Amino acid sequence: MQTQLILTPISSFAPINTAYAIYNGTKNLLKAGLKLNQAILLKRLKRSDTLVVLGAGDSLNSVSVKTWEQLSTFDTAGLSYSVLLPIPLTYYFLETASRSRVEAMQLEKLLPLILDRVGSNSIQQVIWKNAEDTESVLASNIPRHARLVSSWLLTRKKAVLKKSIRYARKLGLPDSFMMQCAGSVFAISFWAHSIGYKRIIFAGIDLNGSKYFFVNNPAFEHLAIPNPLEHETREVSSSKHATNDPEIGIPMEDALMVLQKETGIEMITLSSETALANFLPVFSA
């Protein structure tokens, strides 16, 4: 009840929501020891007006070799398991979860792959997107990573989010922080707009399910990466991703629609089978 009483005014009024985002970002910056790469400084790596945002959804198993080759001509931003995909990554967003099963898996399974790809320059820049997680040991093993901190826009209301985005842009918050709402896809999309991308192609962002592309896929069996859902304590929906569940927060598809309207950035989905295809055009090679 106390949490609800605290969050109600924050989530219901845009000025208070934005003020909380400033507080939250500043607190995380202090937790990170004031060691921060401003988000906008990563613009130096930008080579295209299009950014491909890579998730880990099962729809990636339907991508053809020709399409992978075409996507490789754009800048790319990968999340988590995108390190497994056959495409160069301009940005690899690392989100740590200190002292958890997730971090143990990242250290054992993903870190060697990340280091190998950094060494071969098929990952140009690793970005530790939540450097406020100071107990994590994962990022310290990766040379020359950039450090960002997150800040949350806490609301379930599209009208409040709309105004909060306007205030955040006027204050230049996306230039410094990863502005989270619903999940990392929103944060990366907001950041992409702030550094000048005109178009985003979402690949493997499957909001209508939680299945990962590498689970039960013979091509990845030798890596023995466990299914991330095996230790999930909450009930996992087969038709709705957690970030798109209105029972948890503002659905990702709603948050992205608001962001698109407020920024004017073009959004496209790679697959016609994802929930994003309900309101976004599908990529055509």
What the block records as the tokens of 228 is: 């991330």
pLDDT recorded at residue 5: 35
- Helix pair angle (252-263, 184-194), 10° resolution: 10
pLDDT recorded at residue 161: 95
pLDDT recorded at residue 2: 33
pLDDT recorded at residue 1: 32
3-state secondary structure of 202: strand
Task: Give per-residue pLDDT as tens, 146-200.
Answer: 999 999 998 889 999 999 999 999 999 998 899 999 899 999 999 999 999 999 9
| Cβ neighbour number for residue 170 with a 10 Å cutoff | 9
pLDDT recorded at residue 7: 57
- Compute the distance between CA of residue 162 and CA of residue 14 in angstroms, rounded to an integer: 8
Write the CA distances from 133 to 1, 31, 51, 94, integer angstroms.
27, 8, 27, 11
pLDDT recorded at residue 99: 83
pLDDT recorded at residue 3: 38
Task: Give per-residue pLDDT as tens, 83-138.
Answer: 999 999 999 999 999 888 888 999 999 999 999 999 999 999 999 999 999 999 99
pLDDT band at 8 (very low <50, low <70, confident <90, very high): low
Rounded (5°) CA angle 195-190-276: 125
pLDDT at 210 over 80: no
- Compute the distance between CA of residue 218 and CA of residue 256 in angstroms, rounded to an integer: 33
Write the CA distances from 62 to 141, 220, 230, integer angstroms.
33, 15, 24
pLDDT band at 257 (very low <50, low <70, confident <90, very high): very high
- Look up tokens 């709603």; give the residue: 254
Tell me the pTM.
Answer: 0.92
Task: Give per-residue pLDDT as tens, 26-64.
Answer: 999 999 998 888 888 899 999 999 999 999 999 999 999
Write the CA distances from 172 to 105, 154, 178, integer angstroms.
36, 18, 12
Q: Starting at the edge strand that comes first in sequence, how are the strands of the sheet with 199-203 ordered?
A: 146-147, 123-128, 89-94, 75-79, 50-54, 199-203, 266-269
Q: How far from chain centre, in Å, is Cα 22? A: 20
Q: What is the DSSP string of 62-79?
A: G--HHHHHHHTTSEEEEE
